[in-house]
C-alpha cells in the first residue's frame, strides 16, 4: 500500500492529494482523482479521472468512480455514458447496472430499469441494498416484481 493510499484510508484527503501530486504514474493520477472526489472537488476530480482514462481507456475503477460521482452530482447523462462504457468492458458490472437503473427510474422508464435490475446477481440481497441509496424500497420492490417479456412470449421475473 502506498503512503497516499494510507492517507486516504485515514481520511487525510488533503495530505493524500499532496502525496499523489508529488508522483506521476497512473496509480498516483488515480489516487489524485480519488482524493479530489473525496474532497468534493468534483470538476477537478472528473478532469483527473479523464487523465487516467487517457492513459488507460479500460481503467475499470476510474469508470466506476465516475459513475458513483455523477450519481451523487445527479448528472444522469454522464452516469449513462460511463455506465455504458463500463458495460463494454465488463458486461456484468454491478455499479454500471446500478447506474443505469437510477437513470431509467429517474426517466420513468420502469421496464428498462427492471431489465437492468434483473441482470444484477439474482437473489443477492446486496443488489437490492445497492440501489436503495437512490431508490425507495417501494420502487425496488416494483422493479423486483416487474414482469419482463422475452422474445418468445414467456414472462420472466428478475428474482
The three cell numbers locating residue 65: 468512480
- pLDDT per residue over 63-103, tens digit each? 999 999 999 999 999 999 999 999 999 999 999 999 999 99
38 has a pLDDT exceeding 80: yes
* pLDDT for residue 81: 98
Please give the mean pLDDT across all residues of the chain: 83
71-to-46, 49, 75, 135, 136 alpha-carbon distances in Å: 13, 15, 6, 12, 15
* pLDDT for residue 157: 30
* pLDDT for residue 152: 36
* pLDDT for residue 22: 94
Residues written for the chain = 159
**What is the rounded distance in angstroms from the CA atom of residue 73 to the CA atom of residue 12?**
23
- Which residue in the block uniquely carries the three cell numbers 431508490? 135
- pLDDT per residue over 111-140, tens digit each? 999 899 888 866 554 544 444 444 555 656
- Rounded to 10 deg, the angle between the 76-89 and 60-73 helix axes is 160
Contacts of 104 (CB under 8 A, 6+ apart): 110, 112, 113, 116
- For residues 145 and 109, the model is more confident at 109
* pLDDT for residue 36: 96
Give the whole-number percent of the chain exceeding pLDDT 70: 75
- For residues 143 and 102, the model is more confident at 102
What is the secondary structure of 121-155 as a DSSP string? -TT-HHHHHHHTTTS-HHHHHHHHT--EE-TTS-E
* pLDDT for residue 100: 96
* pLDDT for residue 2: 83
Sign of CA dihedral 53, 82, 144, 142: positive
Amino acid at each position: 500500500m502506498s503512503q497516499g493510499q494510507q492517507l486516504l484510508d485515514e481520511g487525510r484527503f488533503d495530505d493524500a492529494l499532496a502525496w499523489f501530486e508529488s508522483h506521476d504514474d497512473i496509480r498516483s493520477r488515480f489516487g489524485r482523482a480519488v482524493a479530489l472526489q473525496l474532497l468534493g472537488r468534483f470538476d477537478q476530480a472528473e478532469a483527473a479521472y479523464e487523465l487516467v482514462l487517457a492513459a488507460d481507456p479500460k481503467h475499470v475503477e476510474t469508470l466506476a468512480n465516475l459513475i458513483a460521482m455523477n450519481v451523487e452530482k445527479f448528472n444522469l447523462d454522464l452516469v449513462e455514458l460511463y455506465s455504458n462504457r463500463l458495460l463494454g468492458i465488463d458486461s456484468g458490472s454491478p455499479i454500471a447496472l446500478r447506474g443505469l437503473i437510477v437513470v431509467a427510474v429517474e426517466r420513468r422508464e420502469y421496464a428498462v430499469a427492471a431489465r437492468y435490475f434483473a441482470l444484477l446477481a439474482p437473489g443477492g440481497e446486496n443488489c437490492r441494498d445497492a440501489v436503495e441509496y437512490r431508490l425507495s424500497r417501494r420502487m425496488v420492490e416494483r422493479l423486483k416484481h416487474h414482469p419482463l417479456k422475452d422474445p418468445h412470449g414467456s414472462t420472466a421475473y428478475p428474482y
